């Protein structure tokens, strides 16, 4: 069974990567809530958080934390929204964490989220470059 996120991790499909190492891959969501919306996925194919090995949970979430720390620095947002679905509302059957830039009054209310579009590949690359320069592990 094909997995789009595995294909991105294996560089079979393009993505605007903001961070990658042997644990995780972080890239811009193609249909973001706001510009700079990043998906962080484990390199290993697992569908839900309960399937992620105990020894990987900490290192994986260190990568999520690094992306959440980078977004306000890179994009000037006031904070981030970090979320994960397990099965229900999980559009791709590969564990992924959404890290979304937030600013007071941005219109994100409850779970009826507005979607924005990038003007094109160039804008996506510019935002990915900004984020990449700020993602650091502690």
pLDDT over threshold 90, residue 1: no
- pLDDT category at 138 given cuts 50, 70, 90 is low
- Choose among 70, 3, 86, 85: nearest CA to 37: 70
DSSP 51: G
pLDDT of amino acid 64: 98
pLDDT of amino acid 135: 86
Q: Which domains does the chain have, with CATH numbers?
A: 4-132 (3.30.428.10)
Per-residue pLDDT tens digits for 87-111:
888 789 999 999 999 999 888 876 6
92 conformational bin, left if phi > 0, alpha if psi -120 to 50, beta if neither: beta
The alpha carbon of residue 112 and the mean position of all alpha carbons in its chain are separated, in whole angstroms, by 19
What is the rounded distance in angstroms from the CA atom of residue 2 to the CA atom of residue 72? Answer: 34
pLDDT of amino acid 91: 86
What is the rounded distance in angstroms from the CA atom of residue 7 to the CA atom of residue 19? Answer: 16
Per-residue pLDDT tens digits for 19-70:
999 999 999 999 999 999 999 999 999 999 999 999 999 999 999 999 999 9
Contact 124, 118 (CB under 8 A): yes
pLDDT over threshold 70, residue 113: no
The widest CA-to-CA distance across the chain, in whole angstroms, is 41
pLDDT over threshold 90, residue 7: yes
What is the rounded distance in angstroms from the CA atom of residue 98 to the CA atom of residue 89? Answer: 12
pLDDT over threshold 70, residue 114: no
């Amino acid at each position: 069974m094909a997995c789009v996120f595995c294909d991105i991790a294996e560089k079979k499909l393009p993505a605007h990567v903001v961070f990658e190492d042997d644990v995780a891959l972080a890239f811009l969501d193609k249909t973001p809530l706001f510009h700079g919306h990043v998906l962080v996925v484990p390199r290993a194919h697992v569908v839900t958080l309960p399937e992620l090995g105990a020894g990987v949970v900490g290192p994986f979430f260190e990568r999520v934390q690094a992306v959440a720390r980078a977004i306000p620095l890179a994009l000037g947002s006031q904070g981030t929204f970090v979320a994960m679905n397990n099965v229900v509302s999980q559009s791709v059957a590969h564990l992924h964490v959404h890290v979304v830039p937030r600013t007071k009054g941005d219109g994100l209310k409850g779970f009826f989220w507005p979607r924005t579009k990038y003007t094109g590949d160039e804008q996506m690359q510019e935002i990915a470059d900004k984020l990449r320069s700020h993602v650091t592990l502690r």
